[in-house]
Amino acid sequence: MALSGEQWSIAYNDHEATIVAVGGGVRAYSYRGRPVVATYGDEELAPGWAGHVLAPWPNRIRDGKYTFGGEEYQLPINEIPTNTALHGFVAWAEWSAVDLTDTSVTLECRLPARIGYPWTLQLRTRWSVGPGGLRAAHTVSNLGTQAAPFGLGTHSYLIAGELDDIAQATLHVPAKTKLQLDKQRIPVGSGAADLDEPTVLGATVIDDAYGELRRGSDGKAEVRLADPVSGSAVTVWMDESFDWVHIYTSDGLEGDRKRASVAIEPTTCPPNALATGEDLIELAPSEAWFGVWGIRPE
């Protein structure tokens, strides 16, 4: 069996995707035979959290410390260089399929209470492909008797058309603000966003959170990565449940993966939200949160 666990293939016309048990996310997605997201092999761990669901918090928590309901908590530190708690617990948990069709698979994961995060959550994601591309619908329920702090994100790496390097690609992030991050990659302020118009990436290094997303009349924000050479493009859209998007130009990946794709990560909250409370979701007992995002190749 692959290191990413059980695999489920779903397809609709020219759209094909592979969803995996470990991380509950998308391992591969192609349109008309062209890869849309960066994939990885059977004997590899998902490089750079590729395709994984990130919960009960996305991004980094400074020193793994936070306070909620008057109690102080310490999370495990899993990014040693920054001394932070990164991307929650379910990204390396094993999810189970509870419904499967030719065009969709629904996965579930129960996150038990533990030291540092003493709340029990039930997570469900329905992955589907259709005329509009790949769609992810997330539901998170609080199974406990106390309010639970919570955030969610995802971590797919998008490929710009036929390009092997993102230098010639253009990126458009419709945001008003970009967070200023310190050496721990924790916000210490904010400024004007720098990708509010389609921008050639060149040698620009990005590992930043963008907020105040501009939305269309349907409430969706759309981040677009394009290959001006072939005319191909891919859009990551997110509904109003996702107030932030994190952009990462894959500079930390190794070998041919370095700067070959762009991680476009819809998130419900900015880095360090468990500690600051900014846009943190508080799930009441028996309450459920719902959010939807997707990938649309052009």
Q: Is residue 1 part of a domain?
A: no
Q: Is residue 26 part of a domain?
A: yes
CA distances from 192 to 189, 205, 207 (A): 11, 17, 16
> pLDDT tens-digit profile of 119-142?
999 999 999 999 999 999 999 999
How many angstroms separate the CA atoms of 252 and 216, rounded? 33
Q: Token digits for 98?
A: 């509870």
Q: Is residue 73 part of a domain?
A: yes
Q: Is residue 292 part of a domain?
A: yes
How many angstroms separate the CA atoms of 13 and 67, rounded? 49
β-pair partners for 22: 94
Pair 174, 154: CB distance under 8 Å: no
How many angstroms separate the CA atoms of 291 and 16, rounded? 22
**Tell me, what CATH number does 213's domain have?**
2.70.98.10
pLDDT for 162 beyond 90: no
Residue 1, pLDDT score? 86
Convert 250-275 into a string of H (helix), E (strand) and C (coil): CCCCCHHHCCCCEEEEEECCCCCHHH
Q: What is the count of structural domains for the chain?
A: 1
CA distances from 29 to 10, 166, 262 (A): 9, 19, 15
Angle at 186 between CA 259 and CA 239, to 5 degrees: 70
- Write the CB contacts of 41 (distance below 8 Å, at least 6 apart in sequence): none
How many angstroms separate the CA atoms of 199 and 259, rounded? 16
> Measured in whole angstroms, how far is the alpha carbon of residue 141 from the centre of its chain?
19
3-class secondary-structure state, position 67: strand
Q: What is the pTM of this model?
A: 0.96
Residue 250, pLDDT score? 96
Q: Is residue 126 part of a domain?
A: yes
Q: Is residue 114 part of a domain?
A: yes
Q: Is residue 113 part of a domain?
A: yes
Residue 164, pLDDT score? 83
Q: Is residue 2 part of a domain?
A: no
Pair 225, 296: CB distance under 8 Å: no
Q: Token digits for 271?
A: 């880095």
How many angstroms separate the CA atoms of 219 and 221, rounded? 7
User: Whole domain around residue 242: which residue ranges?
Assistant: 7-297
Range of weakest confidence among 70-79, 83-92, 155-164, 236-245? 155-164
- With tokens 């094909």, the residue in question is 16
> pLDDT tens-digit profile of 18-47?
999 999 999 999 999 999 999 999 999 999
pLDDT for 219 beyond 90: yes
